[in-house]
Structure 1
Amino acid sequence: MKSQKLLFVCLGNICRSPTAEAVAAHLIRQKDLPWVVDSAGTSGAHDGETSDPRSILHAQRRGYELTSISRQIRESDFYDFDWILAMDRSNLDFIKRICPDASLLSKVSLITDYCSEKSYQGVPDPYYGGAEGFDEVIDILEDAIEGLFEKVLDYGDKT
C-alpha cells in the first residue's frame, strides 16, 4: 500500500478539521499505515492558534490528541496531498473555487460522503453550540474516517 496524504479542511481549523486529523492519526497508528495527515482552514483568522479548548477536551475524553496549529489552506496543498476532505458544503465549494488546476479537483471531497453508519450532509460546526456538539463531531468523524480508510485500503488492494 502506497503512502497516502490526507488534508482535512474546515472554516477556522480549530474545531472540526483538527479533530479529524487526530482521529485519522489515531487510526493510522492502529493500522500501522505509512500515511500523513494534516488540517487547514478556509479562513486564516486563527492562523498560529491551537485547537479550541473544548475540542481538545472532548477529543481527550475519547482517546484522541489534538496537536495541530491552525493554518489556512494554500495552493501547494493541492499538489502535496492525495485527499482534501472538506467538513461541509461551504468549505467544499470554497476549496473547489481556489483549486489552481481542474485536474486536481478529483482529490477534493466531502468527508461525510464516506460515512457508513448514518447519512450526513457535512460535519456541523460546534463552535457556537454546547458540549454535545463536540461529541457529535467526533461521532461523525469516526464513522467517516473509518469509511474513508476502508475505501482507500480496498482500492489499494485492487491496484
Structure 2
Amino acid sequence: MRNKFEMKVLFICTGNTCRSYMAQVILEKLAREKKIDLEVNSAGTQAIDGIPAYPYAKMALKKNGYEEKKHYSKSISELLLEEYDLILTMEIKQRDFLKFTFPKFGSKIITLSELAVNSEFDIDDPITLEYNEYEKIFKKIEEYTQKAFKRLLNKYNLES
C-alpha cells in the first residue's frame, strides 16, 4: 500500500548531467523502497537541453546498486520551478542565484546540505575529474540525500 503523502522534489546543479541526476536516482529509489509518492526530477542552472548523463555518473550509480535510467539534461525555467514543492541545490551559489532570479519561489529553495545536515556546504562539481573523484562525490550525494529523505519522513510523520 502506498502512502497518501505526495511531494515534488527538484534537484539543481550546473549542467544536469552529474550531481542532480545522481541525487534524483538515489531519492527515487529511497521513495520506492518506502512506498512514498515522491515525484523527483532534476535540472541545471546552465544546462543545455538534451545532453545525456555523464558516463562516470552512470558508472557510480550502477557500482553502488542503483538502476541506471535514461536521462537528458534540462535547463531551469520559471514553469519548471513552479511545479515543485522543494528545490534542492548542490551549491550555495545556485541557491542564491535561483532565489535572486525567481524570488517568488525563495521559500522552497535550499541546498541539499541545509536539509540533510542543517549546514551550508557545496557539493563539488566532478565534471572534469577522474572516476575516483566521482565516486567520492557520489558518496557525499548519497549520504546527504539519505539524510534529507529521513528528515522529510520525520517532518511529515511518515517513518514506519
SS in 2 for 1:35: strand
Give the residue type in structure 2 aligned to 1:3: E
User: Could you say which residue in structure 2 is the equivalent of 1:134?
Assistant: 134
Deviations 1:74-122 (A, max 9, x none): 1013321011000011211221122152xx2111000012345xx7711
Match of 1:57 in 2: 59
Alpha-carbon distance in 1 for matches of 2:90, 2:126: 12
CA–CA separation in structure 1 for the residues paired with 2:114 and 2:143: 10
Instruction: Provide the rounded CA distance (Å) in 2 between the counterparts of 1:136 and 1:113.
Output: 19
In structure 2, give the amino acid aligned to 1:141. I
Cα deviation, 1:116-158, whole Å, max 9, x if unaligned, reads 5xx7711111111121221122211121111111221111129
1:57 shift after superposition: 1.1
Counterpart contact for 1:8–1:21, Cα < 8 Å: yes
Show the counterpart of 2:106: 105
Q: Which runs of 4+ in 1 moved over 6 A?
A: none
Alpha-carbon distance in structure 1 between the residues aligned to 2:129 and 2:157? 41
What TM-score comes out, normalization by structure 1 length?
0.88
In the alignment, structure 1 segments of 5+ residues that lack a partner are none
The answer (yes or no) to whether the contact 1:115–1:140 under 8 Å persists in 2 is no
User: In the TM superposition, what is the alpha-carbon distance from 1:39 to its structure 2 partner?
Assistant: 0.3
- Distance in 2, matches of 1:121 and 1:100, equals 22
Report if aligned partners of 1:51, 1:66 keep a CA contact under 8 Å in 2.
no
- Matched position secondary structure for 1:109: strand
TM-score (norm 2): 0.87
8 Å contact kept, 1:19–1:138: yes
Q: Give yes or no for contact 1:87–1:110 (8 Å, CA) kept in 2.
A: yes
Paired positions, count: 153
Q: Which residue of 2 aligns with 1:12?
A: 15
Identity score, percent: 28
User: Counterpart in 2 of 1:26?
Assistant: 29
Deviations 1:26-60 (A, max 9, x none): 1111111111000000013x310110111111111
Change (3 A) 1:145 1:4: same
Name the SS of the counterpart of 1:19 in structure 2.
helix
In the aligned structure 2, how far is the partner of 1:97 from the partner of 1:87?
A: 16
1:85 equivalent among 85, 88, 96:
88
Separation in 2 of the partners of 1:133 and 1:88? 17
